[in-house]
Amino acid sequence: MHDVLLWFCSCVHAFVVCSVYSLDSGLLGLALAYALNMMGLFQYSVRQSAEVDSQVRLLAVQQKNCSDNELKTNAQGYFALT
């Protein structure tokens, strides 16, 4: 992930440095602000996808544990883990 962010940041900065004299400074500032915004959005999406993956794995483990310990009724009608 850090390699992608470093590559993206390097490309944007190289573009800004190369076009200092050909573009308006407002457009260059806008490009840098947009790049920073996109990097933040990318980090947020990676963090959220890792959180979803963690929750799915937890759910799979809980489902496996529940299927291993099925509830069964005993003679008195109470539920018991077997």
Q: How far is CA 8 from CA 18, 35, 61, 71, in A?
A: 15, 8, 37, 53
3 state SS of 21: coil
What pTM was estimated for this model as a whole?
0.56
Tokens read off for 15: 């573009």
Count of domains in the chain? Answer: 1
Each residue of 25-79: pLDDT tens digit? Answer: 888 888 888 888 888 888 898 899 999 999 999 888 877 776 655 555 555 555 5
- Label the pairing between strands 71-73 and 79-81: antiparallel
Asked if 75 contacts 52 with a C-beta cutoff of 8 angstroms, the reply is: no
The whole-number pLDDT of residue 48 equals: 93
Residue 12 sits in which domain range? 2-81
| C-alpha to C-alpha distance for 35 and 26, rounded to whole angstroms | 14
The whole-number pLDDT of residue 54 equals: 92
| C-alpha to C-alpha distance for 55 and 49, rounded to whole angstroms | 10
